Every structure is written in C-alpha cells, then in structure tokens.
Amino acid sequence: MLFSAAADSYELAVREIRGEFGRDVRVQRVGAELGRVEGPPVEAFAAACDAGRIMFVRHLTVEIASFEELPPEYELAEVVLGELPEYPKALAVQAWTDAAGTGGSYYHRLEEALAGRGVAVTRSGQEYVVSCFAGRKAVLLGLNRLADSLSDWPGGRMRLARGDERVSRSEFKLEEAIATFGLELPRGGKAVDLGASPGGWTRILRQHGQEVWSVDPGSLDPRLRGDRRIHHEATTAGRFFAANANRVRFDVAVNDMRMDQVTSARMMLDAAAHLRRGGLAIVTLKGGGRNPLDGARRGIEILGERYDVRHARQLHHNRNEITVVAHRH
C-alpha cells in the first residue's frame, strides 16, 4: 500500500503506522511525500486514519504496478481494469509527481488508455480512484475505493482557487476541512470564530450560512464589515466568554489561534460551555517543539473532556498543524 504525508511529517507518519500496526511492519520511503507499507489491509488503515489514530497520513492507495515508464495504452488499461471487481463506467484518475509540474501528462496517458476501452475518466467523484505517482526512479500505479482513499485529490494535495475575494490564506484550511470530512454546518446556525482577524474563517462560515461572532482584538477585513450577520467582538476569547454567559448559544465554534496544542485545546473547553450539545468544533492544533505528535495527542486528550473527537488529520493546507473536528458531549 502507498501512503502520502507531508515531507516534513513523513517520520511522524511512520511512527504512527508502527504504533497502530506493530513495530515490525515494513515501511519504505519511495518519494519525498510518499511511502510504501506492507501488511495492514487498506480498510483497517483508512479506519485508523479516519478515527484520528493516524493523523499524518493524507492519502492512501493500493499499489498495483511499478514501471520505469508507462507502458503502451492497451497494456496500461489492462493493468488497471484487471484489478477491478467489475467493468466500470467511469474512474477517477489522479496523477502527481515529486518534481515540478502537476503530473498532467500522466493523467492524459491514463485518460486515453481508459477511454479507448470505453471508460469515462474524471479527476474526482468516482467510486474508484486510480493514482499515478511519478518518482525519480519509477512510475507507481495504485487503485483504491474513494471511501478508503482519505482524499479525492492527487496524493491528498487539495488545490483551491485563489480569487480576489480571499481574505487570508488560512481560509483554505477551513474550506479543506469542510470538504474532506464532509461537514454539514447547520442552516441558519450561529458560529463563534476565535482569533478571527483578519476574517478568513469568518468569511467561509458566512458562505456556509452561519451568523458569526468574530472574536479578536485585531480588525477584520473591510470587505466583511458591512455584513450585518458578522459581529466583530474586539476583545480576547476569555473576556468574550465571560461577557457571553447565557447570551448566545452557538452551533459551531472554530479556533485557528496561534498557540500551543494544550493551550488551544483548553480554549476549546471554555468554548464548550457556550456550544449547544452536539455542536460542531473545528480547531487547528499547531505543531512545533521537539515532539509535535505527542503534543497533538495531548491536545486531543484534553478536548476529549468535553467533546467527541471525530477526525484529526494533517491536511494539505495545514503545514505544521493538525485539524481536529469534534462534537460537544
């Protein structure tokens, strides 16, 4: 099986894999962001990632072939189609490389090969995903059900549009979390955005129909100030919660504040008292220090005092962070 992880977090991913499946499991690095592991079934691996026991793996696929270069179209189609339980009407194809570029030429080779056999090809949204990784020494092919792939993007590298409406780069983190974990925010809900300035997460919450209380002593982007469903609370989170007693009950609480994992988790315990039962919490636990894995685990342990943690993963836009999704007890 092939797994993707951020280059800086690869060793942390290996540590988690061995912690889950045993120290003797064989792991081989085959690219800056790609490793090969032998032993665990893909369903068990995906379940461990989805439950947050493995946080630093972003994408999974079952290796089906390795080539010095891709073979002719007919042979390439045979390799892929021969691994499927039944002939498909459509497949998703995702290609990426260790080098510069997007892997587009490999995508088109696979697209042509499969189209020649009557199989429609898309980049996402199909039951099965064909993964093609072009490394320095080999081209690797993988095949996996989307349900066990963790991400519907090549190697877990989600690409989002960079429009003029963007307030900050941090928007990508929340947008990716909502898409990756299939989160549904309550229609007409009330959300609190802790450490909101300049308002990137607030903007995404408004896109999902939330009325937002944006808590930060700093200012919000001018483009957000005219929205009557955005309430800028120019204060700290602690002071806001002290003043909010019995005033607003929130459906969603988010936190992208720059603080260590433990402090950030404890801030979310304070938020829980203002969140309705079953309410959604999304928090980024910042890395750093000598042992970011143990720091993240400690943060998640603290969150467990008031929340049911549903997901914990280092997403593509996280850098040295873990995104945690939880629901209040």
The residue type of 172 is F
Rounded Cα distance, 280 and 262, in Å: 19
Nearest Cα neighbor of 224 from 189, 190, 200, 257 is 200
| SS3 (DSSP) at 92 | strand
The C-alpha R_g of the chain, in whole angstroms, comes to 21
Rounded Cα distance, 27 and 249, in Å: 47
Nearest Cα neighbor of 264 from 301, 227, 293 is 301
Give phi and psi for 212, each to the nearest 5: -120, 135
| SS3 (DSSP) at 128 | strand
DSSP per-residue letters across 20-37:
HH-TT-EEEEEETTEEEE
Question: Is 286 among the catalytic positions?
Answer: yes
Options 89, 173, 190, 286, the catalytic residue: 286
Contact 130/122 with Cβ under 8 angstroms? no
| SS3 (DSSP) at 291 | coil
Q: Which two tokens stand for residue 15?
A: 């540590």
Give phi and psi for 279, each to the nearest 5: -60, 155
Q: Catalytic amino acids? A: 286
